[in-house]
Structure 1
Amino acid sequence: MNDSTLSYYLSSTLMAFALFFSCQQAYAEITPKPHHIAFTEGQFELTQETEISFNHPDAKPVAEYLAEFLRPPTGYLLPVTKQTRSQRNVITLHLVDSALAEEQYRLAVSAQSIEISARTPTGLFWAVQSLRQLLPAEIESRMPINQASWAVPQVTINDKPRFKYRGMHLDVSRHFFDVEFVKRYIDWLAMHKFNVFQWHLTDDQGWRIAIDAYPKLTEIGATRPHTVVGHTYDYQPLFDQQPVSGFYTQAQIKEVIAYAQARHIEVIPEIDIPGHTSALLAAYPELSCHQQPVKVQPQFGIFEDVLCPREDVFAFLSTVYKEVAELFPSQYIHIGGDEVIKKQWLASPFVKQLMREHQLSTPEQVQSYFIKRVANIVQAQGKTVIGWDEILEGGVAEGAVVMSWRGTQGGIAAAKLGHQVVMSPYQYIYFDAYQSRNLDEPKAIHGLSTLKNVYHYEPQPSHLSPEQQELIIGAQGALWTEYIKTPRHAEYMVFPRLSALAETLWSAKADKSWSEYSQQRLPKLMQRYKKMHINAATSAYNPTISSTIKGEQLQVSMRTDIEGTEIYYTLDGSEPTLTSLRYQQPIIISERTRVRARSFAKPLGQLVGDAQLTLAPHLALGKKISFSYQPVEGSATKLQDGQFAYDQFYSVNDYAIFYDSDLEAVIDLDSSTLVERVEIGYNSGRHRQLHPPTSIKIWGSNDNKNWQPLAHIQQPPGPMSILSFAATRVRYLKVSAINSKQSQDIQIPKLPLYIDEIAVY
């Protein structure tokens, strides 16, 4: 082999390797991950000469959708024809009679053509979504792009979904979102191959769907005078004095349904009963048991007002669900059934008589009676009932599908009873939860559901039998909007968690890899979201700060969920930069320190996150502590872990919690110790105004019998109290904080006292 031949051989090999590598990179862009994929060298060039063809009238809408999607960024007016004779520069969409599954597709890209085949138009549509992700991210622009090349790597894909139900929910009752936003939401679902959109149309804070037979539902029920500012459970809630109003006409409902159908997405309406009906009862108060005026709720949570299980109520609901059934072609109607407070039922003479007549011994059986009556109404319209897992209580309606939201146990129980199940556990796939504890996160309801946690969620519990696992037909994410007022905020909460859930529901379980997803597909997705002008969260790159007790000191560790992400930190509370200390190993803290950290997300080329944690090594770290009234199980350790919570968003796990009782604790310092100050944190969570104690007192003792008063304070300020006193040698400290125990809120019958830390100096 001469030098020129060797040079040519090496050049060709390197080019082939580069093409193969580029194909691998392109594959990394496809989310959810396809089931089977194979690469060859070369690429298909999309040009203004490209033709799109189809072989069957049912394939034409998908072909037209593809042409319309490609037009804005490319400027190409690609022809859509039936059965082209051309063998070059053509995209063909073929419906085929074969053994392919209903949503399965095959996509083959060569230098001359792109061939898409499926048994159904839905399969063709999902193939188009994969093709979309094989193109450069600039294809997402809805404006012309001066792009030199629109290349698609040569690849063969054979793909199908794991679950038949791949759902996402949107609450438009708490905050109203217009038709244009709902359409964008549906587009996002289509891109990620979701096939169900659950539209939560009614709740205590607003009725959002026009019902011709009952116009007051929207005339009265669609408007509330104002909304709580901060959190609905704040110690002293405030209101914004700004009315919230809005509903969808039946014409708009039909418009959204048609839009979703064109994207092969089923729209399931939710009309929530018998609880979460304040807006309904504000319009028609005679449908309650007490028949007194009810208001559309300006706060969030659970309320006493519920529908009464009378015949006039069922007649009313029959008319409502009949109109809903006529509007929505979906096979399902969601009837809610969750969080029903039964106080008004138990006080009602009518309900007491009903219980006697039907041999109902518990309020749960009354709820079951109500749900079964409504299920009959819905089933009479030829629809299948879906309800939240509370519909299991007292006996579930025959044929109902159970949506398990309070964890997985409801779904497990329903599957064992032979019911189909859609998993929607709030701990994993409720997207109204925080994505990190960092202070750059926007307000959320509570809880923590990180991108990594969403990705690792598995809908089919392993301890179910194979037959029972088959009854888990899929899962559904949820976006509740109590604290989400704007489209930009909604985008932040949905992306990129939507992509992680998509991969769980579509991709083969054995093929899932957090490392591969986070290192390869996620960076590409974030670039694509940016081109789509989506306000996607970067929270997966955010740092987490934690500490453990090491004698009288604290050892601080930092991490991120994405391997290889660099963390920069400061120890004086100043904002970290790329010139700050880079975290490499745990740090020992021996004095009060405010640790602050940010991460450098390489794929984004920027610092992200704002993790902060105030650490306070003190004399009571890890010492023995006893209580007159036990706190919530497992929470006592938070009193002496050296961490104050006021630099992070509220998490119940940061506190020792006393429900309807006081804190009265005795700390054993092991030996006689000179003390002169005690700091107590209690109203520390960002975003939440926690209930403060009414008074705090400190005593000292050397025998745990004879106590000397050291300090006290009445009506302590927030977020913490510092009680100083003359330096005194004591072995034992007694600390009391009095719970006000004066809840006026039905949602908090027992007032919680949260204590963050008892720091002794």
Structure 2
Amino acid sequence: MLVFRLRFARSMRHILLSFLLLLFGGTLAAHAQSDATHPPADELSIRWGVETNRVDDGNRFRSSFTIANHGDVALGTTHWTLYFNFSRQIDPASVTAPVRITRLNGDFYRLEPDADLPPIEPGDQLRVTVEAPGSVIKRIDAPAGFYVVFKDAEGRARPPAVVSDVTVEPFTRPAQTSRGPGDTWPVPTPATRYADHRSLTARPPDAEGRIVPTPDSIHRRPGAFALRADATIRYEAGLAAEARQLAAGLAAALGRRPRTTRTDSAAAITLRRAEAPRPAVDTASAEAYRLTVDPETGITITGATDAGVFYGGQSLEAWLPVAAYRAPSSPVDVPAVQVLDAPRFDHRGLHLDVARNMQSVAAVKRLLDIMAFYKLNTFHFHLTDDEGWRLAVEGLPELTRVGGRRGHTLDEQAHLMPSYGSGPSPSPEASRGSGWYSRADYLDILRYAKARHITVMPEIDVPGHARAAIQAMEARTRRLRAAGDTAAARAYRLRDPADTSDYESVQGWDDNVMNVCRPSTYRFLSTVVDELRGLHEAAGAPLPAVHVGGDEVPEGAWAGSPICDDYIARTEGVDGADDLFGHFLGRFQDTLATRGIAMAGWEEVGLEEADHRSATTTPNEALVDDDVQPYVWSNIWGGGTEDRAYRLANAGYDVVMAQATNFYFDMAYSKHPREDGYYWAGFVDTKAPFAFVPFDLYKSADRTRMGHPIDPDTAFADQVRLADTARNNIRGLQGQLWGETLRKPDRMEYMAVPRLLSLAERAWAPRPGWATLDDSGALRARRAEAWTAFANRLGHRELPRLSIRHPDWSYRLPPPGATVEAGTLRANVALPGLAVRYTTDGTRPTATSPRYTAPVPVPEGATVRLRTFDTLGRGGRTVTVPTSP
């Protein structure tokens, strides 16, 4: 229904204008319609809100844009266009005002006035409603990146101007917060959080262990060793870097950095390797270590390798009292102990997508610091995607100059179009949509990671998700053609200009797939791989694998390419466009293998050609023995692909478990509208990674993505189980930080922690006893007990220490649960030990507000507000608790 409101005064102005037009004729009319004067962008505002998610039985939603003019002149009927990004596909036929809304590509839209749109006079507004498939239930779903382009009287476009006054209306009604009739997830309230957390009883800080992830065995001993500020660290040959890292870490507790030496036999701390067959370490793992704290002789860390020594040092830092970090002093009494430890899985990874939103070198290093402390050893660096190419490659400057920048453009000659609200400016200083790592930057990251025993695995996402590279190489082609070098112009081109293929990717792109039939495509990939190999060699950093993506290639790609038609006709074993994906992977795998590099990819790389776009899972037997490593992500509970990891592992593939339901850290922590993040795989709280059972993942399932309870004893009866003989094919676990919503470094940190700590626990620690139980009720009860212990450890020790060691880190502080009944406030928090502070006068709690420690009487009619705080006084989201029914 058309919703188009104009005020009475505006109608009177139109009557007067009509009279003047009749009086003065065409001259005045021409002047009135020149429409060359507009209010500045900062005098416009936009308000967006969801009306309902219940259109078409919950399959569509309706939302509205309200454009208000706060200036002194009218926003005319022509000569302006509003641009924005929106992750939903607006139905053009649903637009209810005399404007046109067009999706240009991906999530990029423009809104233009129709000829019969009256001017929006000062003080007036235009309301436009639209519909789109799906639903929107969160603030983060809102359209973003609004800017306007005005034209002068001659039709020349002025520079784009950002509309910064943008408001997202609150989500308050069930029609706004429910995804449809099948959505049973409740929106969290203080009362529901309080009920959920009541079982999380607070425990003494030292009752639940001191090291995360939990070591294989800890034997406490009487007494303590007094570690003094003048302590010396003695290290064996080859362990200087590990000694320096440990000294830097201990400085935060001792107030000064211990001296490192090769010769001091009286050193307080000794670092050494075990000799073969490693008699000092009771395991064959290359990352194993033994940490011994003796009250008389001091501290000894023995590692099977350099990495083992490093991890022993991290455990020593974790073993120190948290109070030592709060107030560095000497000596620090280190409780006597012997820790024997080794990881459960070799691969303990974290993925970071910098293509959608760029993260600085400093931000990446901060993330590597946290990874290293919690013994994660693989940094999956997602460097390229449709929306950005982030690595400089020698000889291909357009990759970063064009593919590494986003801004206002209608032809993408100089840079890519905006995505994810990145705005009109292509400058890296103005937008997270632009930026890249120079060769020096990448080397810096590699060396930083290597010093912390983290392997950097770069991802170059192909053949889909490749739009940034395609557009960049088109720019290169134009440049060289203009210079008359036709041969060079063709050398790295990635598209067939005559291709009429009709497809659309999951993210809405219709031109994001490399043409895999061009020789130039493989020349391009070889050049990029050689660049990566050279950088890793220069840094002395391993490059055991390159992740090639391989995911979400849309149906229809290559079907209209004459180059591919010719290639198919002359290539044995390729009978049609549907065979090209697997053929491409084989060719690219050969490229990597000749350079001694393994191919990693998302799960699609291990599937038969016909299955990589469907829920069917037939492993591609041809690549099993070719060192191809699938990372399995699509296990949405009830979606039909839950057993994909096991099918691939049973077939012989080395599999990394990266399941969206438990390890996608771009998912929202909860359904609360202000809890940013996606939710297509459900909601992923801090407990989700902790609850994952790698060798029987069905035990991890509690509810579907829409909140319906799951009985794991019956729901997966037809799903394939992991064969005992295939357990060694599960290489490990990995968390994913996809970048669509990571528009600032603090958002990256918020989404990563504390979930990263639960991932580390499950990837390193021994298999927990509760995971072995077959009765689902008993398993859930025992798991709840284990989670209570772990949650206490996070709240009492890990997050307070993180605040002190990394005071600028913006990890998530869970909002409190609370209720007021019979005039008494009761409150709790998901991670016991974190401070909850409150007010009863309606003001926002601060770090000096009273701390909740026991039930509090509150006067009738009071407005009670609470926030969770860290040890440095940083507060989380404020919650308000009703004090009357």
TM range (shorter): 0.5 to 0.7
Alignment of 1:191-590 (within 5 A): 191-225=373-407, 240-243=423-426, 244-285=433-474, 286-290=493-497, 303-310=510-517, 311-328=519-536, 329-356=542-569, 357-361=571-575, 363-391=577-605, 392-394=607-609, 395=620, 397=623, 398-407=626-635, 408-442=642-676, 444=678, 447-461=682-696, 463-510=721-768, 513-531=786-804, 532-538=806-812, 540=814, 542-543=816-817
Give the deviation of 1:137 after TM superposition. 3.5
Corresponding letter in the other structure for 2:468? A
Q: Deviations over 1:223-279 (max 9, x none)?
A: 11159xxxxxxxx99763232321112222222111111111111111111011111
The one-letter amino acid paired with 2:545 is Y
Q: Distance in 2 between matches of 1:541 and 1:465?
A: 42
SS of match in other structure, 1:245: coil
Contact 1:28-1:524 at 8 Å conserved across structures: no
The letter for the 2-side match of 1:306 is: V
Give the superposition deviation at 1:95. 4.0
Question: Which letter does structure 2 place at the counterpart of 1:324?
Answer: L
**How far, CA to CA, are the matches of 2:833 and 2:333 in structure 1?**
31
Secondary structure at the counterpart of residue 124 of structure 1: helix
Asked if structure 1 preserves the Cα contact closer than 8 Å seen for 2:386 and 2:512, the reply is: no
The structure 2 residue matched to 1:40, chosen from 221, 225, 246, is: 221
In the alignment, the residues of structure 1 paired with residue 829 and residue 255 of structure 2 have an alpha-carbon distance, to the nearest angstrom, of 42
| Separation in 1, partners of 2:796, 2:367 | 21
Rounded to whole Å, the distance in 2 between the matches of 1:223 and 1:359 is 40
Counterparts in 2 of 1:502 and 1:543: CA distance versus 1, 3 Å:
same
The SS at the match of 2:526 is helix
What is the distance in 2 between the residues matched to 1:77 and 1:596?
A: 46
Partner of 1:84: 264
What is the CA–CA distance in structure 1 between the aligned matches of 2:258 and 2:656, rounded to whole Å? 41
Alignment-derived partner of residue 60 in structure 2: none
Consecutive unaligned residues in structure 2, runs of 5 or more? 1-202, 410-418, 427-432, 475-492, 537-541, 610-619, 636-641, 698-720, 771-785, 820-826, 857-862
Relative distance call for 1:314 and 1:600 in structure 2 (3 A) is closer
Letter in 2 for 1:419: Y
Would you say 1:96 and 2:282 are equivalent positions? no
The RMSD of aligned alpha carbons is 4.1
1:609 & 1:124 partners in 2: Cα distance? 40
Closer, same or farther: CA 604–36 of 1 in aligned 2, 3 Å: farther
Instruction: Check the 8 A contact 1:438/1:610 in 2, yes or no.
Output: no
Distance 2:736 2:444 in 1: 23
Cα offset for 1:499? Answer: 0.4
Residue by residue over 1:28-48, the C-alpha shift from the partner in whole angstroms, topping out at 9 and shown as x without a partner, is 231001110011222222213
Q: Distance in 1 between matches of 2:362 and 2:837?
A: 41
SS at structure 2 position matched to 1:333: strand
In structure 1, give the amino acid aligned to 2:726. Q
DSSP 3-state at the match of 1:25: coil
Deviations 1:497-519 (A, max 9, x none): 01000000000112672121012
Q: CA deviation at 1:607?
A: 8.8
Q: Per-residue CA shift, 1:385-434, capped at 9, x if unaligned?
A: 00101122414633200011122433222112211001111121111111
Letter in 1 for 2:548: I
* CA distance in 1: counterparts of 2:394 and 2:875, whole angstroms: 53
Deviation at 1:349, TM superposition (A): 2.6
Aligned partners of 1:192 and 1:499 also within 8 Å: yes
Distance 1:568 1:23 in 2: 20
- The residue number in structure 2 matching 1:745 is none
- The answer (yes or no) to whether the contact 1:288–1:305 under 8 Å persists in 2 is no
TM-score, normalised to structure 1's length?
A: 0.65
Write the deviation string for residues 169-215 of structure 1: whole angstroms up to 9, x where unpaired.
11111111122221221111100001111111111111111111322
Structure 1: distance between partners of 2:658 and 2:685: 15
Q: 1:118-158, CA deviations, whole angstroms, 9 ceiling, x for partnerless residues?
A: 121110000000011122446668xxx65354232111100
What amino acid sits opposite 1:38 in the alignment? H
- C-alpha separation in 1, matches of 2:252 and 2:832: 37
**CA offset at residue 218 of structure 1?**
1.5
Contact 2:225/2:295, CA 8 A, preserved across alignment? yes
Counterpart CA distance in 1 for 2:442 and 2:653 is 30
* Aligned counterparts of 2:473 and 2:627: Cα–Cα separation in 1: 30
Which piece of structure 1 moves more, 513-522 or 88-97?
88-97
Match of 1:63 among 243, 253, 258: 243
Greater Cα offset, 379-388 or 210-219: 210-219
1:190 has 2:372 as partner: yes
Query: What SS does the corresponding residue of 1:246 show, helix, strand or coil?
Result: coil
1:110 is aligned to 2:289: no
Could you say if the C-alpha distance between residues 511 and 147 of structure 1 is closer, same or farther in structure 2, counting changes exceeding 3 Å? farther
Residue among 71, 74, 78 paired with 2:254: 74
Q: 1:427 to 1:477 in 2, by over 3 A?
A: same
The 8 Å contact of residues 420 and 740 in structure 2, kept in 1 or not, is answered as no
State the distance in 1 between where 2:664 and 2:693 align.
14
SS class of match (2:206): helix
Q: In the alignment, residue 685 of structure 2 is paired with which amino acid?
A: T
- Which residue identity does 1:381 align to in structure 2? R
Residues 307 and 453 of structure 2 are in contact (CA less than 8 Å); yes or no, is this contact kept in structure 1? yes
Separation (CA, whole Å) in 1 of partners of 2:585 and 2:262: 50
Higher relative contact order (CA 8 A, sep 6+): 2
Could you tell me how far 1:491 is from its partner in structure 2?
1.0
Partner of 2:166: none
Q: 1:149 to 1:427 in 2, by over 3 A?
A: same
Report deviation, 1:559.
Answer: 9.9
Aligned position for 1:638: none
> What SS class does the counterpart of residue 117 from structure 1 fall into?
strand
| CA drift at 1:353 | 3.8
Conserved in 2, the CA contact under 8 Å of 1:437 and 1:611? no
Deviations for 1:155-174, whole angstroms, at most 9, x for unmatched residues? 11001100000011111111
- Rounded Cα–Cα distance in structure 2 between residues aligned with 1:140 and 1:364: 59
Whole-angstrom distance in 2 between the partners of 1:361 and 1:569:
69
AA in 1 matched with 2:304: R
Does the 8 Å CA contact 1:543/1:567 hold for their aligned counterparts?
Answer: no
Residue 559 of structure 2: SS of its match in structure 1? helix
- Please tell me whether the aligned partners of residues 289 and 345 of structure 1 are also in contact (alpha carbons under 8 angstroms): no
Alignment partners' CA distance in 1, 2:509 and 2:346: 32
CA distance in 1, matches of 2:319, 2:248: 17
Q: Larger % of strand: which?
A: 1
Deviation per CA, 1:715-744, whole angstroms, max 9, x where unpaired? xxxxxxxxxxxxxxxxxxxxxxxxxxxxxx
Q: Scaled by the length of structure 2, what TM-score is found?
A: 0.57
Change (3 A) 1:336 1:312: same
Is the CA contact (8 Å cut-off) linking 1:197 and 1:265 kept in structure 2? yes
Q: Give, as a single letter, the amino acid of the residue that structure 2 aligns with 1:69.
A: G
| Equivalent position SS for 2:665 | coil
